[in-house]
Each structure stands twice: as C-alpha cells, then as structure tokens.
Amino acid sequence: MLAKDWNLGIKETNLRRFLPYVLAGLLAAAIMVGWNVAFAQGDPPLQEVDDPATHLGNLTTMVAAFLVFFMQAGFAFLGAGLIRSKSTVNYMTKSFMDFAIASLSFWAFGFALMMGTSAAGIAGTDNFFLLSGGSDWQVYVDWMFQMVFAGTAATIVAGTVAERTKTQAYFAYSFLIGAIIYPLYGHWVWGGGWLGSLDAIGLPAAADYAGSGVVHAVGGFVALAGAAVVGPRMGKFNADGSANDLRGHNVPFVIIGTFILFFGWFGFNINSGSSIGLNAINTLLAGATGAVVALYAQLIRTGKADILMSCNGALAGLVGITAPVAHVDPWAAVVIGAIAAPIMMISVSVIEKVFKIDDPVGAVSVHGTCGLWGLLAVGIFANGNNDVNGLVGGDGLQIVSQLISMGVVLAWALATGFLMFLVLKVSMGVRLSPEEEEMGVDASEHGIVAYPEG
C-alpha cells in the first residue's frame, strides 16, 4: 500500500511539473490556428527580386548569419572549459537548447515585435509567426540574420548562472528573452523605434552598428540579474565575504571556444555593404589588441602570462568594437580594444569583490560592461564613416544620444532580467538543491556525465 501511494505521489509531482508546459503548448497551438484562420487570406505570393546586387547582398548577409550561428559552438566550448567538469553536459545542453528555444520564440513573437510596423516607436505590430511575410523574399533573409543575433543574446546568460540553475527554468528564460526582452530594445534601436528617432528632440539617432548594446549589453545585464537572483555557487564565498577560486576544468576548451567566437565575429560585424573591408580590419584589430593588453596587464600584476585572461580580453575588445565598427578608423579600433581589456578586468573584480556576485565565465563584464563601452565609443571615435560623427568627427551631440542608449539598455536589461528571474523563482524555482549541486548538474539533471571514465 505504501509503495502504491509513493508511486502515485511521484506521478502527481511529475504532472504538476509538466502541466505548465502542456498548457503553454496548447495556448501556442491555439494562437497559431487562430492567426492562420484570421490572416491566411489576402497576402500576395512572394516575388523573387531579379537584381544581381540584391542577390549578392543577401548572400553576404546569409554567410554572415551562418558564421554567427557557428559562434554557438564557441560559447559552448568557452563556457564549458571555464566551469567544473561535473557541469559540462549541462552547460553544453543549455548552449544548444537556448538557441533552439530562442529560435522558436523569435519566430513566433520576437521578430514581429522587433522589425514589424512600429507602434509609437515602442514595438512592432505585424508579421507574427512570419505569416504576413512581405512583398518579396527579403523578409526571410532579414529574419535569419536577426535570429542568430537573438540566439547570441540568449546564450550569454548560460555561463553566468552555470552550475547551480535548474535546467527547466533556464529553458523558460531562453524563450522569454527571444520573445520579448531582446526584440523590444532591438526595435527601439534597429526596428524604427524611438532611439533611432531622436531627431525629434534635436539629437542624432543612437548608433549601434552590430549590437554592443542590442545584443551584448542586453545579454550581459540580464545575466547579472539572473546571477543575483540565483545566488553564488556553493563554496564560492567564505563567511567573511572573501571569494574562492573555483577553477574551470579545461583550458584547451576555452582557447578553442575563443578562436571560434573570434572567427564568427567577422559575420557579426561585417554583414554587407561598402564598408565590409573596414569592418573586418576593425574587428580584427580590436580583438587582437584586447588580447595583448589583457595578457600583459595580467603579466605585470601577477608575473604570469594568463591565457584565460587574454581570451576574455580578446572578447572584450570584440564586444567594444561591435557598435562603432563601421564608424571608426583602424587606429580607433586599436584604442577601443586597448581600453576594453582593462574595463573588463576591473569589472570582473568589482562584480566579485564588491557586489559578491558569482559569474564563473566573466560574461557580465565581457558582454555587459564592455557593451556599454562600445556604445560610448561611438560617441567618442566616430569620424563620419557611414554618416555617424562623434567627438573625433566634430559632433558633440552623438555622445548624448549614446549616453541615452546606454542608460536605457542598462535599465531595460536589469529591470526585465530581475522581473523574469524572480517570477521564475516563485513559480518553478531556479536553484538546484544543495545535494544536486554537490553531486553536479550533469548527474542530477541529465543522468549522464561528460567524462564517465573519471
């Protein structure tokens, strides 16, 4: 009798766990059916544009999108290498699934909110589920390019909350950032929203060529909120507040991941257009400078040539150049990368020692803090390339627009990040039990480990 009651209790627990997903699936199916019934009529068939220049531009954009997609492998290797071996499968799972889940939510809701017809500069209002495609095939090219950016924003958070977060809660987060958080700020900057229309108050549009703010700062500061809500890993901080070094398990993973991310960043920053060569050079120089400055800064500080810090320095330089990449000359890219590295290093120390937040991979500093630096760098170094002028180009107003954009992205990402993770904490829980965390997320959440022979 007791065994029967025990089994019944397990079944009821499983039912409660999965009932929200069943209801969400039924709701999504109902929305899709209703939308198809209401709007299936009236859209003309899409027409192919017979223009060689358009075809070439679309090909360049799609190749760039595929490179950005490949960056997911870089994030997977980088993050897995920087955490302990008992969480490797979990981290790889999150890196794979957050992209897949964000793809679906961006297809259903995010792209429409981001790139649809603007309502008062706040949100797009049409093309949900890509059902009202447009007058030509261009909409599909645009969707693909924007989608891989959404996936990047989503996966930034994985490393910051690694080793102690419930997998199902992380999946729910992945859906929400692709559906709402990333698209709305993206609409304000890239989709015809109010940050791109500051001329109404006598200011130039806020400039963010490839997403220092839209992608990296959004992901970085949502990650900060998530880490604060989830809390630090067991053993990270002592009773007196001092931090312990919970070292990652695989340095080659980190280096391989950084190479892949650096390579994929050319897709991130180049896209298409006449400045493709300039963008490639600026991307390379900023990343390389960040790597060199971080390595030598750490060498001076500790006497050791720290390749892990150099890898994060490269990523810091790449994040910093992402917004101004098409608007500055190569010398400025070197300066931007050189400044990004110490900004990242100082931020890592402040977040750990002052705010007592556990960020195993430094994602908040690399993507969040350096994302803000990238936005500011436009206002300082833009020299007229692609019609954007900062202080170097003789326009003091651009920096005002950039400061507004910095404040908005910081407030938006933190507010929505805290709200989302607090709701998840109350509704489904975000933190593993101490026993599960001690065992390792791989064994407790997946039932498999990365290195079974160990």
CB 243 within 8 A of CB 236: yes
pLDDT at 332 over 80: yes
- Compute the residue count for the chain: 454
Tell me if residue 171 falls in helix, strand or coil: helix
Can you tell me the distance from the alpha carbon of 155 to that of 32, in angstroms, rounded to the nearest whole number? 26
Q: Which two tokens stand for residue 268?
A: 């991130």
Range of weakest confidence among 70-74, 267-271, 361-365 = 267-271
* pLDDT tens track for 23-79: 455 555 555 544 444 444 445 455 555 677 777 888 889 999 999 999 999 999 999
Query: Greater confidence, 7 or 93?
Result: 93
The proportion of the chain whose per-residue pLDDT surpasses 90, expressed as a percent, equals 81
pLDDT at 245 over 60: yes
* pLDDT tens track for 387-430: 999 999 999 999 999 999 999 999 999 999 999 999 999 999 99
> For 306, which DSSP code?
-
pLDDT score of 41: 42
Q: Which two tokens stand for residue 27?
A: 């709701």
Q: What is the pTM of this model?
A: 0.90
> HSE (CB half, 13 Å, CA atoms) of 442?
15
pLDDT score of 54: 75
Contacts of 71 (CB under 8 A, 6+ apart): 148, 152, 260, 261, 264, 265, 267, 268
pLDDT score of 335: 98
Beta bridge partners of 124: 118
Can you tell me the distance from the alpha carbon of 3 to that of 102, in angstroms, rounded to the nearest whole number? 41
pLDDT score of 28: 57
Looking at residues 219-224, what average pLDDT do you find? Answer: 98
Query: Greater confidence, 52 or 269?
Result: 269
